[in-house]
Amino acid sequence: MTLANGHPYLAIPGPSVIPDRVQRAMHRGSPNIYEGGLLELVDSLWPDLRMLAGTTGHVAAYIANGHGGWEAANANLFSRGDKALVLACGQFGHSWANSAREMGIEVEVLDFGKASPADPDRLEAALRADTQGRIKAVLTTHVDTATTIRNDIPALRRAIDAAGHSALFAVDCIASMGCDEFRMDDWGVDVTVAASQKGLMTPPGMAFVWFSESARARCGVGDLATPYWRWGPRAEAEEFWQLWDGTAPTTHLYGLREALTMLVHEEGMARVWHRHEVLAGAVWAAFDAWGAGNPAIAMNVGRPEWRGRSVTAARLGAPDATRLRQWCEQRAGVTLGIGLGMAASTDPAYHGFLRVAHMGHVNAHMTLGALAVMEAGLTALGIAHGPGALDAAAKIVATGAGD
């Protein structure tokens, strides 16, 4: 038997839930890409994309997923043989490092493991050791979606400044943009990368690279900046086709327009960040309660200030995480995320990890519903767990929902 027939909920960390309004906005035939309404709609996107990232700087948009966004940043920041310093806190940091290495960039990785954020002191020491100033940019993740570690971006910026190093600072916000507080200009970030399918609530297919004036002045003209990836013509397009170096992602743009209206204009970034903060807190409270009755159940990141607000990685002991995921999907219509980068998929330990997304178009009933389904699954499967998880989660929501 199953209770899964009803509206399914995809609670994986991307692609995220697409709002009905965004879907409806995209349900249309092809527009004229030479003149008319589409051009006006696109003009209206850039101020909102800047507001979203907290910058008055430049924006280049690409038809790409997040991996394409990484390559766009790499291609403009570096020439072949230049050096990158990558601060890795999980699989996504390492994957960005790999993409740079494969493009012929020299990469030094500072690996901070899978349970704590990048240490500003180690960053400062690595930059001080670079006496010849070879490191052109420091790359890191705001939130690594595999471990769900959140880095303290302002603290890392201060470490670069304390070292007196001229490296540019580039941050992957693919898992956090539109979910977790981010202020590109205030925090001294030179290059920010995001994609459409997570906090931006739109299908995969668009990547965005925001860049500061100093990044513009120092980058974008090297031997990796091939015509398609070069950010200058996109950010300073004189003709519409230059914005995407070819045909625009027409259908996506109507969806993005609607999503930005919802985030930037209707809800406002402060309330968007607050909503994610509260829903994350509800998930954490539930895991704390479950774990109190079974030490095998624990969140991956111990300290709340080190956790991303859009997704939570946890362990349940193998094979219970996989059993619980399957139960939730098959019996109750909630799809949880697999554990990523914690153990190889061929390793039995793989079945001890999962992730709960609370990213993008999510509200209290969705997150509380997912937690209640997980509670039911733990009970149905006979997985030991502490009591009171749903009460604890509801208390967080009751306090965070305002008057």
Ligand X SMILES: *Cc1c(COP(=O)(O)O)cnc(C)c1O
The reply on whether position 300 binds ligand X by CB under 6 A is no
Query: Does 149 sit near ligand X (CB under 6 A)?
Result: no
Amino acid identity of residue 174, one-letter, is: I
Q: Is 210 exposed, middle or buried (0-12, 13-18, 19+ CB in 10 A)?
A: buried
The answer to whether residue 180 forms part of the interface with ligand X (CB under 6 A) is no
Stretch that binds ligand X, among 124-132, 141-149, 178-186, 212-220 (CB under 6 A): 141-149
3-state secondary structure of 170: strand
Q: 334-338 and 9-11 as β-strands: parallel, antiparallel, unpaired?
A: parallel
SS (H, E, C) 224-286: CCCCCCCHHHHHCCCCHHHHCCCCCCHHHHHHHHHHHHHHHHHHCHHHHHHHHHHHHHHHHHH
Q: Closest CB to ligand X among 291 and 360? A: 360
Q: Which C-beta is closer to ligand X: that of 340 or that of 389?
A: 340
Residue 20 has a CB neighbour count (10 Å cut-off) of 10
Please give the Cα distance from 197 to 92 (Å, whole number). 16
When asked if residue 67 is in the footprint of ligand X (CB under 6 A), the reply is: yes
Residue 179 or 289: which CB sits closer to ligand X?
179
12, 57, 59, 66: which one binds ligand X (CB under 6 A): 66
Q: Kindly report the number of other CB atoms within 10 A of residue 346's CB atom.
A: 6
The closest alpha carbon to 358, from 293, 302, 292, 285, belongs to 285
In the complex, what is the shortest distance from the CB of residue 215 to ligand X, in angstroms, rounded to a whole number?
Answer: 19
Return the axis-axis angle of helices 389-400 and 364-380, rounded to nearest 10°: 170
Q: Which stretch binds ligand X (CB under 6 A): 47-55, 74-82, 113-121, 168-176?
A: 168-176
User: What's the min distance (Å) between Cβ of 14 and ligand X?
Assistant: 5
Question: From the CB of 55, what's the least distance to ligand X, in Å?
Answer: 19
The interface mask with ligand X, positions 8-47, x = CB under 6 A, is ------x---------------------------------
Residue 175 vs 372, nearer CB to ligand X: 175
Q: Which of 9, 78, 92, 244 binds ligand X (CB under 6 A)?
A: 92
CA 9, 11, 14, 20 torsion-angle sign: positive
Which listed residue (16, 55, 145, 202) binds ligand X by CB under 6 A? 145
Residue nearest to ligand X (CB): 66
- Of 175, 213, 207, 206, nearest to 191 by C-alpha is 213
Minimum CB distance to ligand X smaller for 283 or for 313:
313
H/E element, 86: strand 83-88
Considering only 140-148, 155-163, 324-332, 337-345, which stretch makes contact with ligand X by CB under 6 A?
A: 140-148
| Phi, psi for 18 (deg, rounded to 5) | -95, 120
63 binds ligand X (CB under 6 A): no
Smallest distance, Å, CB 98 to ligand X?
12
How many helices and strands, by DSSP H and E, does the chain display? 13, 12
User: What is the closest distance, in whole angstroms, from the C-beta atom of residue 213 to ligand X in the complex?
Assistant: 25
Considering the rule CB under 6 A, would residue 172 count as an interface residue with ligand X?
yes
What residue ranges bind ligand X (CB under 6 A)?
14, 65-67, 92, 141, 144-145, 172, 174-175, 195, 204
